[in-house]
Structure 1
Amino acid sequence: MTEANPRRIAVIGGGIIGTCTAFYLQRLAATRGRSVSVSLIEGSQIAAGASGKAGGLLALDWHGPATASLATLSYSLHAQLAQELGGESKWGYRKLDTLSLSADLSSSTASSAAKKSRARKLKQDDLFNWLNKELLTATDVLASQETTAQVHPELFTRAIAEQAQKEGVEIVYGTVDSLRRLDDAYEVTVSPRNADFPSPAADDDATSGEPSARHLVFDQVIVAAGPWTGRLVSTLGLGAAAGRAKAIRGSRAHSVVIRSPEGKTLPAQALFTSIKEQKGKHAEPEIYNRPDGTAYACGPTDDSDLPKHASDVTISQSAIASLLAQTAQLAPDYLDHENGARVEREQACYLPVGSGDPVLGKIEGQGDTGVWVASGHSCWGICNGPGTGKVMAELVLHGKATSADISQLGP
């Protein structure tokens, strides 16, 4: 039996956290015979922010005490979703080796013979044979295919959104401008999607032909707006009750996607590096090889101001140039454009960072009515997205998370 009046639930944010939350809300309600109406509200497009520009590393046991249980659940759910929905072909899910290396890219005075001698002494020689071993000073294995895997984040997030729609979730494109408390519900005002991502015709005003604001009523609202979460809860008048969620902001990270030359197959590896550069500079780019023949590389974060929309994010050309130079030197046969590699993306995004661990929990309301937050995962949003979605569904529908221990992650 299902309830006569469906519970109306809004999830604000079309990144991996919001998308997975909407997906599991719909699924959990269906398995428990609950009637729900779930709306996923996104101001740009699905995976427009960090979820579309992240690396996609999944790690089973790299997490602190507060998130270890959540990560274990999420790692398992990633595998389950890949098996159920064809993740290997749809979003590049696979297990991989995760390695670390140190390299000296400075103008070293060491002779070529000395470099070659050093290269022969490195551990796990076969795992690093695609790299320029004359530059490597140390290597190690961080994790095997038993405990690390990967996805293509953008493809994963969009595939889950598509599946959620098939199962009954409505996707509403527009920016949340205000939230008004009613007696036992919330009215959410959604303005048309910004000009870079025009709204579908169905969202337009039939008389004037111009997009108009929509006033939608929900029993429950979940804010999963990534780096925009802190700003949004304050804009909506929830700052006083938001606790740690109010502090969530954005930290900009740059990345590139490079396609290896034809005939060069990148191994299933993720690399964490420590690089000595010229003039005493130091860098730690991360490189994730993908099964589609590309390598994703990302660099350090900076504190540039968070823009209003994901489509407004700008990039630093010097940061991109550094990444391209580092990857080309580390793997000249695979990642150097002078040897046939092709740069497919130069991009930046904002990671949602706050006061340490992510924030999962209720910030306002009584009983079944209220506002929740799910955000602040920093670089672990892709890894912990499915687990977060499932425990948030449990919290909202049943008042308690039972699939993982999130007792240290409340607002």
Structure 2
Amino acid sequence: MMSTKPSASITSNKVLIAGSGVIGTSTAFFLAKEFGISTTLIDPSGSIAPAASGKAGGFLALDWNDYSSVGPLTRRSFTLHQNIADLLGASTIQYRRLTCASIRVGDGSGRPKGRKLEGIEWAEGDNAMANARSLGDESTIAQVHPKKFCQRMWEHVQSLTNESSLVKGSVVEAVYEVKDGKKQLVGAKLDDETVLEGDALLFACGPWTADNMFGTKYHSLVVPTTKTLSQCVFFSGFGDPEVYVRPDNTAYCTGFPDPPVRVTERPGQEEVRSDAIAKIQKSVEMASSMSDDLLLSTVEDDVLQQACYLPSTADGSPMMGALPDQPQTFVCTGHTCWGILMGPASGEAMANLIARGDSPHVDLTSFDPARFGSLSMVPQSSRV
């Protein structure tokens, strides 16, 4: 299988990763698990998954990206999510299989009430059959808690490689030396002038990664439910809210994304606008016939309110591979709303690319960073 290759494959002893989200922790996970290589994660927050990887819905779909460039990456990653859950313990990361439905609401009739539609947990009403359709069952739909997922993977990395560590800071530049007539990476310089030694460097900072990156801001609220629900819902109408139910009797509600922008807010410090939260709350209340089960009335008290940026490149496709003319320097970002879903396969691919020079499981040709020409890696702190 063809793959994006670095200028020279290396036998790495320590890998530096800028960014501690799902891409960074997944790459560290496979470097440790498959190659015994230790990792230094570098993040301005000093914590695991401070931004979108800790605030996303964690919705996983096997086949929704079929017939697109990320289809094979998605399918590989869906399988890896199950494998990782089996290894780490599904309950520790809230991984489970469940169902998903699309429900049309509105048209002047308000939310549906009355008769329950068999097989559709949320849709009720005399016209429910016409208004609801299945988008997948337990064979194609799953979920995971994103932050718990990243944290548990990192804990496993540390159990396998004693030298792996998390450093607070921002990478401002890669450090190279010429040895035996060849340019080689020897480390990374941080914003406090510290230089960390490393044999390879991966930039995986989401929308803060490079000068061709954008971020789409999503707000969300996580509300308690009166019972454990098992069907994620995409509503059509009343603003098209999305509801991802979780096994801990909560529901993740989102919708109404902002336009894509160059991100200036710091990772983990994204402003949560009260008007955006109120808009999602009202939309879900209007759309859902289950509002008595979703305790939306408690939004001012014990409901988690948050915001994050989903990263995309200038052409909308992920950027994964070796940076042109920058030996042992790599980038992996731009997975849009599918970052959690595609995280494991992306991390596996980057781990293989770094450690052995190829990607045996997924063809990375269409994701080659070289398609953008010369790229500038943007330190996370430089836009603030």
TM-score (norm 1): 0.78
Aligned to 1:29: 35
How far apart are residue 302 of structure 1 and its match?
A: 1.1
Q: How far apart are the structure 1 equivalents of 2:318 and 2:121?
A: 38
Distance 2:265 2:279 in 1: 27
Aligned to 1:190: 190
1:68 pairs with 60, 66, 71, which one?
71
3-state DSSP of counterpart to 2:363: coil
Name the SS for the 2:293 alignment partner: helix
Partner residue, 1:364 = 324
**What displacement does 1:365 show?**
4.2
1:351 pairs, out of 296, 310, 313, with 310
Residue matched to 2:152: 159
- Residue 266 of structure 1: CA displacement? 3.4
Would the aligned equivalents of 1:250 and 1:352 in 2 still touch at CA under 8 Å? yes
- Contact kept, 8 Å, 1:364 with 1:370, in 2: the verdict is no
One-letter amino acid of the structure 1 residue matched with residue 177 of structure 2 = L
* 2:83 is aligned with 1:80: yes
Contact 2:174–2:188 (Cα < 8 Å) also in 1: yes
Q: Is the 8 A contact 2:101 2:120 kept in 1?
A: no
Could you say if the C-alpha distance between residues 338 and 187 of structure 1 is closer, same or farther in structure 2, counting changes exceeding 3 Å? closer
Q: Tell me the CA shift for residue 129 of structure 1.
A: 4.9
CA distance in 2, matches of 1:134, 1:314: 42
1:286 aligned residue (221, 239, 242)? 242
Relative distance call for 1:341 and 1:287 in structure 2 (3 A) is farther
Distance 1:7 1:339, change over 3 A: closer
Tell me which amino acid in the other structure corresponds to 1:181: Y
| Partners of 2:134 and 2:302 in 1: CA distance | 28
Q: Write the deviation string for residues 197-252 of structure 1: whole angstroms up to 9, x where unpaired.
A: xxxxxxxxxxxxxxx6421122211101111012xxxxxxxxxxxxxxx4222111
1:313–1:348 CA contact under 8 A, matched in 2: yes
- Whole-angstrom CA distance in 1 between matches of 2:141 and 2:131: 21
Question: Residue deviations 1:20-76, cap 9 Å, x none?
Answer: 01111122213xxxxx44211122121100001100011111114311111111111
Aligned match of 1:59: 61
1:228 counterpart (194, 200, 208): 208
Q: Determine the C-alpha separation between the residues in 1 that align with 2:189 and 2:298.
A: 53
Query: Which of the residues 94, 97, 100 maps onto 1:98?
Result: 100
CA spacing shift, 1:337–1:132, aligned 2, 3 Å: farther
**AA partner of residue 79 (structure 2):** S
Q: Aligned letter for 2:323?
A: I
Q: Pick one of 254, 278, 282 that aligns with 1:321.
A: 278
Are residues 1:253 and 2:218 paired? Answer: yes
Matched residue SS, 1:247: coil
- Report if the CA contact (8 A) 1:103-1:135 is conserved: no
Give the number of equivalent residue pairs: 345
Structure with the greater relative contact order (CA < 8 A, sep ≥ 6): 1 or 2?
Answer: 2
Closer/same/farther in 2, CA of residues 328 and 164 from structure 1, 3 Å limit? same
Higher helix share: 1
CA distance in 2, matches of 1:103, 1:134: 12
2:229 pairs with one of 263, 267, 270: 267
Kept in 2, the 8 Å contact 1:298–1:323? The answer is: yes
One-letter amino acid of the structure 1 residue matched with residue 93 of structure 2: W
Q: Which residue of 1 aligns with 2:51?
A: 49
CA-atom RMSD in angstroms? 2.5
What is aligned with 2:352? 394
Tell me if 1:377 matches 2:335.
Answer: yes
Rounded to whole Å, the distance in 1 between the matches of 2:127 and 2:273 is 27
Q: Provide the identity percentage.
A: 32
SS state at 2:360 partner: coil
What are the superposed Cα offsets for residues 153-173 of structure 1, whole Å, 9 maximum, x if unpaired? Answer: 011111111111111122222
Q: What runs of 5+ residues in structure 2 fail to find an aligned partner?
A: 1-10, 179-183, 370-384
Partner Cα distance (1:229, 1:292) in 2? 33
Residue 332 of structure 1 corresponds to: 291
Per-residue CA deviation, residues 342-368 of structure 1 (Å, 9 max, x unaligned), is: 7521111000111122111111347xx
- Separation (CA, whole Å) in 1 of partners of 2:298 and 2:355: 55
Q: C-alpha separation between the residues in 2 aligned to 1:338 and 1:251?
A: 28
**Residues 242-263 of structure 1: CA distance to partner in whole angstroms, max 9, x if unpaired?**
xxxx422211111110011xxx
Please name the residue that 1:311 is paired with.
268
Q: Is the 8 A contact 2:103 2:123 kept in 1?
A: no
Structure of higher CA gyration radius: 1
Q: Which runs of 5+ in 1 are unaligned?
A: 31-35, 192-211, 231-245, 277-282
Establish whether residue 174 from structure 1 lines up as the match of residue 169 from structure 2.
yes
Q: Is the 8 A contact 1:9 1:220 kept in 2?
A: yes
Asked whether the 8 Å contact 2:223–2:304 carries over to 1, the reply is: yes
Alpha-carbon separation, structure 2, partners of 1:55 and 1:84: 22
